[in-house]
């Protein structure tokens, strides 16, 4: 008889976690028929993920929810169950909380297993910069942000969680609690197509629970756009509003664009932001390359290939776009920090 397993999907952030959570929620009946229960404990704040359980563990106040989880697992008829919240990844520096979660799962007759998606640290850092716009802190200072990532290897979320870019350190406490054989690690590779993340997610589950018939059931996928970025104009507008709260933004963002950068192509302004330059991407990937090699050796997941030039493609047009956006960004932020809201001021 196959052991009962409770999966913990820990994200990480910016790896289509929300799309996967909707995928699990929308297909929960089908998954139940497969033998996989999508667990409900800690879904009070967000109905599609176990966010509150993750944050109670982070705040060291999880006794009530862990008791709820145990009761839910004891009543579970399926052979496997799953929890999902990218904020579980923030538990890397709370090993006692991870042990409490795993012990609770084991006390309910299940083995704990982890599935994690990892994104190359260069695109991860650029994407995580947008998270700063959820908070009330000044969201300027891209250079300082990258300097912190390179030197400290971390980013602090608006809620106070610490995002870790060293994936070996991130995975180690989960591996220690569950056993490395029950940690499935997958690379987030959006260029393989919007449907790939779902297939790879199911494949990751199957590496730990091969008896789950995950490939033979029809599944509904409603959220193929798995990871949207803020438009560049939204980044600039948010910074402007925080530095000049007394000046209302125009109702039409095109008017704002004409005020701050009339020469900028609207297609670039209203497209997704991308601020990281090629040399910065190389520096970040080189910084975390030793950790990535050890993740490959231990978990079989290649976060970024050894040939960074082939991977990043220095002649790719995205670097031209990044140079254009970054020049506008640097110029506007420097002017605004000097107290000048518009070029003619």
Q: What is the mean pLDDT of the chain?
A: 91
Cα–Cα dist 30/37, whole Å? 9
Cα–Cα dist 169/172, whole Å? 5
Q: Model confidence at 95, in pLDDT bands (50, 70, 90)?
A: very high
Q: Which of 34-43, 195-204, 281-290 has the lowest mean pLDDT?
A: 195-204
- Tally Cβ neighbours within 10 Å of residue 316: 11
Asked if 194 and 125 touch (Cβ cutoff 8 Å), the reply is: no
Domain 5-124+163-208 of CATH type 3.40.50.300:
yes
| Bridge partners (DSSP) listed for residue 154 | 164
Determine whether 234 is exposed, middle or buried from the number of CB atoms within 10 Å of its CB (0-12, 13-18, 19+).
middle
Instruction: Kindly state the DSSP code that residue 272 receives in the 8-state scheme.
Output: B
Q: Model confidence at 213, in pLDDT bands (50, 70, 90)?
A: confident
Asked if 258 and 330 touch (Cβ cutoff 8 Å), the reply is: no
Nearest to 16 by CA among 44, 41, 49, 42: 49
Domain-wise residue ranges, the chain: 5-124+163-208, 232-271+315-337
Helix (H, G, I), strand (E, B) or coil at 140: coil
Nearest to 86 by CA among 153, 131, 29: 131
The pLDDT tens digits of the residues spanning 235-290 come to 999 899 888 999 999 888 889 988 888 889 999 999 999 999 999 999 999 999 99
Nearest to 331 by CA among 239, 222, 212: 239
User: Does the pLDDT value for residue 48 go beyond 90?
Assistant: yes
Cα–Cα dist 54/90, whole Å? 8
Instruction: Kindly state the DSSP code that residue 115 receives in the 8-state scheme.
Output: E
Task: Determine the Cα angle at 18 with ends 207 and 57, to 5°.
Answer: 80
- Say if pTM beats, i.e. exceeds, 0.85: yes
Q: Which of 28-42, 231-245, 289-303 has the lowest mean pLDDT?
A: 231-245
- Tally Cβ neighbours within 10 Å of residue 185: 25
The pLDDT tens digits of the residues spanning 104-130 come to 999 999 999 999 999 999 999 999 998
User: What's the confidence (pLDDT) of residue 119?
Assistant: 96
């Amino acid at each position: 008889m196959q052991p009962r397993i409770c999966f913990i999907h820990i994200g990480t952030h910016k790896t289509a976690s929300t799309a996967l959570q909707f995928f699990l929620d929308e297909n929960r009946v089908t998954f139940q028929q497969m033998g996989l229960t999508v667990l409900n404990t800690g879904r009070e704040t967000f109905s599609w993920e176990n966010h509150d359980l993750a944050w109670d563990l982070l705040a060291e106040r999880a006794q009530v929810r862990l008791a709820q989880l145990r009761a839910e697992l004891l009543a579970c008829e399926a052979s496997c169950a799953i929890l999902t919240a990218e904020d579980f990844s923030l538990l890397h520096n709370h090993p006692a909380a991870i042990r409490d979660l795993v012990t609770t799962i084991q006390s309910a007759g299940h083995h704990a297993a982890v599935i994690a998606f990892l994104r190359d640290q260069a695109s991860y850092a650029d994407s995580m910069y947008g998270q700063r716009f959820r908070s009330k802190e000044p969201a300027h200072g891209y250079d300082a942000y990258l300097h912190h990532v390179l030197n400290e290897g971390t980013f602090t979320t608006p809620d106070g969680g610490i995002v870790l870019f060293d994936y070996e350190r991130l995975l180690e406490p989960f591996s220690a609690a569950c056993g490395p054989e029950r940690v499935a690690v997958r690379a987030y590779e959006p260029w393989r197509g919007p449907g790939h993340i779902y297939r790879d997610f199911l494949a990751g589950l199957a590496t730990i629970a091969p008896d789950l018939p995950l490939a033979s059931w029809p599944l509904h996928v409603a959220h193929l756009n798995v990871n949207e970025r803020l438009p560049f104009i939204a980044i600039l507008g948010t910074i402007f509003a925080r530095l000049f709260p007394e000046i209302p933004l125009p109702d039409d963002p095109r008017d704002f664009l004409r005020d701050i950068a009339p020469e900028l192509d609207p297609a670039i302004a209203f497209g997704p932001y991308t601020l990281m330059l090629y040399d910065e991407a190389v520096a970040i990937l080189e910084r975390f390359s030793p950790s990535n090699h050890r993740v490959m050796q231990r978990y079989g997941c290649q976060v970024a290939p050894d040939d960074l030039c082939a991977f990043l493609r220095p002649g790719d047009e995205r670097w031209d776009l990044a140079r254009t956006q970054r020049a506008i960004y640097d110029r506007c932020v420097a002017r605004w920090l000097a107290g000048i809201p518009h070029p003619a001021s």
